[in-house]
Structure 1
Amino acid sequence: MSVLVRRAALTVVAVAATVLVAITPAQAEPEGGTKPLRDALRAASQGYQDARTAIANAKKREGELSEEILASQARVADLSAAVGRLAAAQYRGGSSAQLQALLSSGSPESFLDTAATVRYLSERDGAQVTALKAAQATLARQRKDLDAAILEQENQLKELRKRQDEALKALRSAGGGDPTLGFGDLPANATPAPRNPDGSFPSEGCSVKDPTTSGCLSPRTLHAYNETKKANFDHYVSCYRSAEDGGEHPRGKACDWSSAAKGFGGMAVGAEKDYGNKLAAWYIANADRLGVLYVIWFRQIWMPGTGWRSYFGSGDPSSEHTNHVHLSMR
């Protein structure tokens, strides 16, 4: 083989190797920034969503208690009026009138009938007084519970603001955090992921097969993957990844969706950029349904409570997320 032929062959091999490197999943690592940054973003986003769920539950409880209090107030008013009439009757000589009725009985049988009637009236009057006291106690407890529900909302609102501040502080420490425009709006049409009765998401581990690697995913991440495919986003994707010093990939709670059809290449332009824009917008529209923790795309990050913010890597397409949309899940 001549020197020129050998050189040409080596050039072809080098180009092929470059192409292979461009499409290997390892090129989509990591989520960007440092492990402390990723840990801070996870804690801030999850804490924000937990607080929002707590506020929703507290508001729901406030509404229920408000209705219960109205019903209790009406019952207390009715019982108070009834007991007031009893008190007035007693004041006018109710007890002496009942005694006079007993004394005027004309026969033993009528005496017994009258005595039974008096006893019934006495028991009825006592029951109404007892019912009034119970209704008043119920109303007092409901008002106390309502105060607690309102206080819980106030506390969770403080927690929301705290988590927002933590997220922005973490982003700004990495040189980002400024508000950005995002990538437009799309309809929320994903099938919601399962939730607990209180509206929170169940805790999940890496327990189901990842269809994109030999690793595992959480059930909620697999649900998001399937819903993404159903929404016709079908470019190359890689989810589980173990060789990383943090982030959600090793937890089975993250996927990298390439803007190119076949693998992770250079910075997206044209149709590939449009694809990434639409995918990022779709995730934001369905964030609450799917349980999205955060999304990174084209030097921007979205988190609940902060919206789209600037987010920078080390300058290459993977760390800058200009060649793939990163999805992290609850």
Structure 2
Amino acid sequence: MTASGRRRCTLALTVVVVVGALAGAVLRPGAGSASPPPGVPGDEGGTPLLRDVLEATGRGYVQARTALARSQARQARLATELREVQDRIAELGPEIDLLARNAYRTGRIGPVLALLNSSSTDDFLERARGLETMALWDNHRLHELNQARERASRAKLALDAEVTEARRQVAVMQRQKREAERALALVGGRSTGGFVAADSPVARPAPRNGDGSWPRQSCGRADPTTSGCVTPRTLHAYTEARRAGFKRYTSCYRPGGPYEHPKGRACDFSSAPGGFGGDAHGADKTYGNNLAAFFVRNADRLGVLYVIWYRQIWFPATGWKSYGASHGDPSSDHTNHVHLSLL
């Protein structure tokens, strides 16, 4: 083969390799493809900083809200105890006043004279027993009054401490709310009407700790939607959504990517029956609206961290806000699926 022929063959081979590489890049999922393959939501938008802030402030806000609820419950119990003790002190007041007047009027002479004026030994003993009974009764009433006053003092101190704790938790919630709003402002977060429905189904509550807080959970349960794992709370939310009638395609665990998917704390619920496609319209959008509203209504029962649907995000501290942290496609705009993140 001549030199010019060898150059033509080399050029042709190079063109074939380049065209093949370009074709592979176009066809390969995640490498410039226009939409993610079925069952994979793809890049859901947002920035790592935004997601970190939302998670941190979300947890902080919910923890503070739970602590506030506990403090308010303790305040109610202490206030009831204080009222009961004060009522008992008021009941004992007249009796104590009578004891004080009798003691002032008779001093020690009265009881002694009563014994000396006894007509017989039996009468003396009987009067002595009566005086002893009166003394015991008086001492009992005085002891009860002192105890009641001590209980009232302790209850008042504890109640004051709980009021201080409640104020501290409110301040924490306000701080977390401001931080969340600043983070959302970076992606154009404005208050919206959101997706709320008073007649959404009521979910069964997920288990909590004895003090009402949410337990830390690891990705230890089999994910019914993938071959991965989810937390028990995520599995509970998924089960409750299906029990409420939301049974369309869902994908929870992913080994990589944004949000809480790799931790087993997030699920993507497709608005279309067959998987993640284009923007939802008509009945598919109504389905997504209803599902988002279901999660918001049951946020405190399920342990919801946030919900994203149709360019809007619901956050416990802020309510529904517009959400522009996207790339203009259905997955990152969340117009083809409802994203749920859990504590």
Q: TM-score category by the smaller chain? A: 0.7 to 0.9
- Identify the match of residue 42 of structure 1 among 40, 55, 68: 55
Deviation at 1:180, TM superposition (A): 1.6
Count of matched residue pairs: 314
**Deviates most, 308-317 or 296-305:** 308-317
The equivalences for 1:188-199 within 5 A come to: 188-199=201-212
**Secondary structure, aligned partner of 2:145:** helix
1:100 and 2:104 correspond? no
Deviation at 1:273, TM superposition (A): 2.1
**Secondary structure, aligned partner of 2:170:** helix
Unaligned runs of 5+ in 2: 1-22
Unaligned runs of 5+ in 1: 1-10
CA RMSD of aligned residues (A): 2.3
Deviation at 1:94, TM superposition (A): 4.4
**Secondary structure, aligned partner of 2:269:** strand
Deviation at 1:242, TM superposition (A): 1.6
Structure 2 distance, partners of 1:293, 1:131, is: 51
Deviation at 1:114, TM superposition (A): 2.3
TM-score if structure 1 supplies the norm length? 0.88
> Which residue matches 1:270?
282
1:321 and 2:334 correspond? yes
Check the 8 A contact 1:265/1:323 in 2, yes or no: yes
Deviation at 1:111, TM superposition (A): 2.3
Structure 1 distance, partners of 2:176, 2:201, is: 25
**Deviates most, 93-102 or 188-197:** 188-197
Deviation at 1:92, TM superposition (A): 0.7
Deviation at 1:198, TM superposition (A): 3.0
Deviation at 1:184, TM superposition (A): 4.1
> Which residue matches 1:251?
263
Summarize deviations over 1:57-86 as a string: whole Å, max 9, x none: 222222222222221111112223212111
- Identify the match of residue 191 of structure 2 among 179, 200, 217: 179
Structure 1 distance, partners of 2:113, 2:337, is: 96
Of structures 1 and 2, the larger Rg is shown by: 2
Code of the aligned partner of 2:214: F
**Secondary structure, aligned partner of 2:331:** coil
TM-score if structure 2 supplies the norm length? 0.85
Check the 8 A contact 2:36/2:42 in 1, yes or no: no
- Identify the match of residue 129 of structure 1 among 126, 139, 142: 142
What is the percent sequence identity of the aligned residues?
46
How has the CA–CA distance of structure 1 residues 20 and 34 changed in structure 2, closer, same or farther, with 3 Å as cutoff?
closer
Summarize deviations over 1:100-127 as a string: whole Å, max 9, x none: 0111123333323322322222222222
In the TM superposition, structure 1's runs of 4+ consecutive aligned residues that sit over 4 Å from their partners are 14-21
Check the 8 A contact 2:200/2:290 in 1, yes or no: no
1:286 and 2:298 correspond? yes
Code of the aligned partner of 1:77: A
Structure 2 distance, partners of 1:90, 1:281, is: 72
Deviation at 1:311, TM superposition (A): 1.3
